Chain A
Amino acid sequence: MEEVGLLINGIYLKVPQGYTLLQAAQQLGVDIPTLCYHPELPSEGNCRLCVVEIGEHPRTRLVNSCTYPVEPGLNVQTHSEKVLQARRITLELLLARAPKAKLIQELAAEMGIHESRFKSEDPYELCILCGLCVRTCREIVGVSAISMANRTPGKLVTTPFLEPSDACIGCGSCAFVCPTEVIPYIEKDGKRIIWGREFELVRCNICGNYIAPMAQLEHWAKLTGEPVEHYFVCRDCR
């Protein structure tokens, strides 16, 4: 494996080629705040919280560390004044976007921001449009039941035509991965409700506990090639 040598905060290190600046920094133990980054998902660079400063003074610029690949000899600053300033503004904007989101409040407070100078369109908004749910549904679950729709300022995550989706298997991965817990997910009385669709939960043949919706079991069966009956027994009883 070819290695690339670069400087992060003045410390020289070698990382495999193809690493992102974020991965390199993590290897060094440098903590860069992230919101839309997930190690299992392709990076999209939506939140811009992970910006770092690259290049030689005075010709430096800010780039998303989650999408920028390592370059030989690159000089990276992860906590320079320019970077911190950019992160503070990003957090202020995110705070204006989703004032009630706990995670955003916490991240902002860490940077000493307790309120935003920017006007909030919707004081109850929680979604920060990081796209983790959309990417999880597409890349991990593999069904692509939700996506971004419209263009900012009307942009939102939704199922096609805002209707219950046929593609959705009711797995709830989107709600699970959501950093601000905005996706409504209800599970009670043997039913799971998500994205406006109601799923009956299948009971375990042995212990009788609820496992998952039929659509999800069928999806597992399709992925593994096992007959769907294989999944009528919950993991604890198997």
Chain B
Amino acid sequence: MMDVERLETILTQYEGYPQDLIPILQDIQDQYHYLPKDELKVVAQRLNVPLTKVYSVATFYKMFSLVPKGRHELRVCLGTTCHLKGGQRLLESVSSHLGIEPGYTTADMQFSLETVGCLGSCAQAPVMMVDDKYYARMTIDKVTKVLKLYKE
């Protein structure tokens, strides 16, 4: 069932113009870790934009997801520099630690794993991100330590 109040606290921060669409979707993504269908329908109605527009935007950007993501989102960089510095091996290590392939979420909904093209921190390659925190000059040894910080 939809949590009306929870969505309302997000929507009331905006004036309800069509150009508020992306910020609102970002807020929903942050709080819910995905974009639930019913909520998107309410957003479309409230901003007076067609549902098709909301759906287009929600499926276009990689930062939005229509399926639930884990509490923590891991992004392993596979940009050129990180790739040369062993990003692929880092990814494999994280992947086997969590037991999931990139693009998936662990069964306990704690972690989602994604790959990205560049995190803008090539000098410190290889880089990975957990939520909004950078982990630079990663090594496979460090993976366990980093993941431990986020495990319950």
Contact = CB atoms under 8 A, between A and B. Distances in A.
Contacts of A144: 50, 52-53
Contacts of A109: none
Interface of B: 37, 40, 50-56, 59-60, 62, 66
Contacts of A159: 52
A160 B52 contact: yes
Nearest to A145: B52
A187 B82 CA distance: 55
Contact of B51 (A148, A150, A160): A160
B52 A147 contact: yes
A146 B53 CA distance: 9
A188 interface: no
B54 A151 contact: no
Contacts of B55: 147, 149, 160-161
A167 interface: yes
Contacts of A148: 56
Given A147-B55, A160-B55, A161-B37, A167 B50 contact: yes
A149 B64 CA distance: 13
B37 A147 contact: no
A34 B94 CA distance: 49
A167 B52 CA distance: 9
Interface of A: 138, 143-151, 159-161, 165, 167
A149 B53 contact: no
Contacts of B60: 149-151
Contacts of A167: 50-52
A135 to B, nearest CB: 12
A143 B50 CA distance: 8
Contacts of B37: 161
A138 B66 CA distance: 24
Contacts of B53: 144, 147
B75 to A, nearest CB: 17
Contacts of A160: 40, 51-52, 54-55
Nearest to B55: A160
Contacts of A165: 51-52
A51 to B, nearest CB: 25
Nearest to B54: A160
28 contacts: A138-B50, A138-B52, A143-B50, A144-B50, A144-B52, A146-B52, A147-B50, A147-B53, A147-B56, A148-B56, A149-B55, A149-B59, A149-B60, A150-B59, A150-B60, A151-B59, A151-B60, A151-B62, A159-B52, A160-B40, A160-B51, A160-B52, A160-B54, A161-B66, A165-B52, A167-B50, A167-B51, A167-B52
